[in-house]
Chain A
Amino acid sequence: MTTLPALAAAAREARAAWSTRSTLAVAAFALAGFVPLLTGDARTAELADGLYLACAAVGLAFTVGIAGLPSLAQGAFVAVGAVVGARLLELGAPTAVAALAGAAAGAAAGAIVGGGFARLPRAGFAAATWIFAWLVSLALQSLTWLLGGAEGTVVTAGPTPAGHYELALGLTAAAALAYLALARSTFGLRLAAARDREAAANELGVPVHRLRTVAVAASGAAAGVAGALAVALAGVADPTRYGPYLSFKLFVVVLIGGAAAPLGAAAGVVVLGVLSVAADAVGRLEHVAAARSHALLAAVMLLGVVSLGWEGLVRPARRPRRTTAGPGPAPGAPGRLAARSLAKRYGELVAADGVSLEIVPGTLTALVGPNGSGKTTLLRMLAGRIRPDAGSIVREGGVARTLQATAVFPTLTPLEHLLAASASRRRRGGLFRALLATPQARAEDAAFAAWARGVLVRFGVDPDTPAGELPVSDQRVLMLAAAYATGAAVLLVDEPAAGSSAAERRRLAGLLRGLADEGLALLVVEHDLALVRSVADRIVALDAGRVVT
């Protein structure tokens, strides 16, 4: 009988997080559910088609909003779902089977695209997904064995238009709820960290590429189910419907509505619908041939909306996180880092020449040396970011590194920084648990949040101000706290005190000393010799890639 208390707890939480916005969203969906009573079948079918578009658009917001990747392949994922759905429906499969198969096919296509291109810089990801959208569109039109070429594939009718309408509405709501759950989960927080600053996220051990691939695959699943069901609704799969314009439209809808809010994309679909109706009205006024004026006006209005640096209709709401005492992360085991005879050359420049170094638990080792002596190169090798030309490194217990420049994730709060950093220490932090918000996952969320608040008190950083608005000295300390939160046994800290005042240096020195005393192994690169002498157990000096003391 643990179900009942768990349900009660969930209800209390939902109530605590409830806002006017939630009321409005629920009311809008409830009212929208009655629309088929007022409209004829043809109009209902049209609206259902628009809602399937909205479902695909909300799905695209996983990739665009949470992961920050400009994906132009969503229309192609819709097409993949449509092909698989149409083939199955043609064979007489039930609509539900076709829908699930469409989702699976869309997810698979998303995984391929994400896996292949999510490592590229964002501009390259946009280009690659755009080429993919064209590839799918051109293939559908020229390869008749895919979807029957110009005639398309005719399938038998499934549910009524009203049935489709309610199904599409439900799917759109489900996609928006999934967005909400994902954005708040450690999955979403880590993606947001990588979106804000990929290099710093890498150093905290965020598996950026894998998470991005999953995000694109999730977008693909939403697109695929929408594609398959839209075929069932229309009774025909028409290859010309899946041109690159569809991908563009979905992307623009997300942009107009706001990628950072769960229902932004759905609002964008409504805006697009209104633009289209307005274009029709103006076209009638001007007595121009309808199709011509419609397309032109819609294009011009769209350009008008998109230009001028539009930031999206719906802005994200920041909601408080529940904290309850509970088992936080298990303390990490002590570990060490031992490097032997590391060598690295960049052309003529010798960055490391036979460097051996051991960093042991409970000690703070300072690495000093003039600019260009190879300190940062050494750190990058120790962190596994670049490969040495020769030599070996033994790592025990995980390594986290802070970057030279202040590299916070400006849109995340310090609390979210720590939750993202400590995600790998979760026992119940998986994607499906997060999506379903299981009681155990929520309890762990609350326990980790309580623990993270405690850590931030110790580091003296306000937990709830977006990190981009914190003073620079707090930003440095925050990244140290985030590195600590990963649970890594070895911390590599690059110039934590550069450009800070005497008081800030004392604060940093105290924090660093405290971490070493706790049993961590620290390697700190620092120019300030006074600071170094006051805290370091050992000083290693580097010059021209060689250890000189």
Chain B
Amino acid sequence: MAVALQILASGFAAGAVYGLVAVGHSVVFRLTGVVHFAFGELIALGVFVTLFVAAGSGPVSQTSVGGLRFVGALVVGLLVTAAAGAGSYFLAIEPYRRRGSVIGWVGASLAVAFAVRTLLVVFFDRPAYVFPDPLPFGVWRIGDVTIQERSLFVAGAALALAAAAAALLSRTRTGRALEAIAQDFDAAVLVGLPVARLVGGAFAAAGAWAGLAAILAAPSAAFDVDAAARYGLYGLAAAVVVWFDPRRALAAGLALGLIQATVTSAHAGGTQLGPAYRDAVPLALALAVLAWRARATQELVE
């Protein structure tokens, strides 16, 4: 029982972050029709810029960062990720988007991802960093089970952001204009919507979202670029399984987290799955579900 509860708790903690990123992926896709392959790298950018402003590139610990400077660093981190989001759109994605070249924007957004990744690896060359916690959360202990309060906060934040995005989309003029663009890019240009400004804005918001995800997620464990890329990947897997539906993306992320936690400590009969399968099984399951769902899209193609 305690084991099951502990799986639930740790799965929930990871899944909340996946869900948060999945909501971000879904909103970007709904608004722009583009899959943001650099999302995970933007998360890493947010974390490292914040670290850099707060403490330079030296070693960081929970005590070495002052309060006010850290708040300033968080703001800078958000601004930089927003700028990087918008910049990557205008520099790399938009030129292909305008021509309707899917092949082009896929390559360009991946190129952005790897450029950001390489930049970070070169300048922050320590193996892993500890991100100071802006909001000190404790843990609950129920018997042998520990539950990070942070994970509840992350899930709550993901829910709130998803709700805010849904409201923005359906209630405001900007939101409706963005959905129109996502559905028919050329027609939106023809009717005179300021497409570049709106989509650029959406990418800036996505960057800020990634920065926010970084701040929420990073303090829970030692952090490096790979960890961030993995958040981006799991978020994408969760989002694509529910076909970028922002309302169900959080649930899909939580499900992936729970599957991962289960696999990590699973004993099936005599064989142990264990930590070696913690990535392979959830990703393979996500792909299997996606392939199964893809069979049904046949009627929709027209």
Interface residues of A, Cβ cutoff 8 Å to B: 64, 68, 70, 72, 115-117, 119-124, 126-128, 130-132, 134-135, 138-139, 142-144, 198-199, 202, 209, 245, 248, 251-252, 255, 259, 292-293, 295-296, 298-300, 302-303, 306-310, 380, 385-387
> What are 26 pairs between A and B in contact, CB < 8 Å?
A64-B103, A68-B102, A70-B102, A115-B291, A117-B291, A120-B290, A120-B294, A124-B240, A128-B290, A128-B291, A131-B236, A135-B279, A138-B279, A144-B276, A199-B302, A202-B301, A245-B114, A248-B110, A251-B106, A251-B107, A298-B118, A299-B111, A299-B114, A302-B115, A309-B101, A385-B302
The answer to the question of B141 belonging to the interface, with a C-beta cut-off of 8 Å to chain A, is no
B96's partner among A293, A296, A298, A309 (CB-CB below 8 A) is A309
CB distance from B49 to the nearest CB of A (A): 17
B35:A135 contact, CB within 8 angstroms: no
Whole-angstrom CA separation of A68 from B102 in the bound complex: 9
With A202-B301, A306-B92, A310-B104 known, 17 other A-B pairs at CB within 8 A are: A70-B102, A70-B106, A117-B291, A119-B297, A120-B294, A120-B297, A124-B240, A124-B290, A248-B111, A252-B110, A292-B122, A295-B118, A296-B118, A298-B118, A299-B117, A309-B96, A387-B299
A300 and B290 within 8 A (CB): no
Interface SS, A side: helix
B302 lies within 8 A of A296 (CB): no
Q: Is the CB of A252 within 8 A of B111?
A: yes
Check: B75 CB closer than 8 A to any chain A CB.
Answer: no
B240, chain A: closest CB distance, angstroms: 5
Report how far A72 CA is from B105 CA in the complex, Å: 13
Q: How many positions in chain B have a CB within 8 Å of any CB in the partner chain?
A: 53
Is A130 touching B37 in the complex (CB atoms < 8 A)? yes
A-facing residues in B169-185 (Cβ within 8 Å) = none
A306 near B107: Cβ-Cβ < 8 Å: yes
Contact A126 B114 (CB under 8 A): no
Chain A CB within 8 A of B71 CB: no
A310 to B278, CA, bound (A): 39
Contacts of B276 in A (CB 8 A): 142-144
Q: Is the CB of B237 within 8 A of A131?
A: yes
A329 to B96 CA separation, bound complex (whole angstroms): 40
Given A72-B106, A117-B290, A202-B301, is A127 in contact with B240 using a C-beta cutoff of 8 Å? yes
Known: A117-B294, A198-B301, A295-B118. Is A255-B95 also a contact (CB below 8 A)? no
Q: Chain A residue with minimal CB distance to B91? A: A307
Given A295-B118, A302-B114, is A70 in contact with B103 using a C-beta cutoff of 8 Å?
yes
Bound Cα distance A99, B294 (Å)? 33
Interface residue? B189 (CB, 8 A):
no
Complex interface residues of chain B between 216 and 246 (CB less than 8 A to chain A)? 233, 236-237, 240, 243
CB nearest neighbor in B for A256: B107
Bound together, the chains give a CA A403 to CA B12 distance in angstroms of 49
- B110→A251 contact, CB < 8 A: yes
Note all chain B residues with C-beta closer than 8 A to A308: 91, 95
Q: Which 6 A-B pairs have the closest CB atoms?
A: A309-B95, A116-B291, A299-B118, A138-B279, A70-B106, A255-B107
User: Is B35 a contact partner of A127 (Cβ separation < 8 A)?
Assistant: yes
Q: A309 contacts which chain B residues (CB < 8 A)?
A: 95-96, 98-99, 101, 104
Q: How many Å lie between the Cα of A248 and that of B286 in the bound state?
A: 21
CB distance from B88 to the nearest CB of A (A): 9
Residues of B within 8 A of A117 (CB): 290-291, 294
The reply to whether A123 and B277 contact each other, CB–CB distance below 8 Å, is no
Residue pair A124, B243 in contact (C-beta under 8 Å): yes
Per-residue CB contact flags for chain B residues 100-143 toward chain A (1 = under 8 Å, else 0) read 01111011101110110111011001000000000000000000
- Pick from A123, A142, A255, A387: contact of B29, CB below 8 A: A123
A120: chain B residues at CB < 8 Å are 290, 294, 297
A199 to B92 alpha-carbon distance, docked (Å): 29
Tell me the bound Cα distance from A303 to B115 in angstroms.
7
Chain A residues within 8 Å of B33, by CB:
123
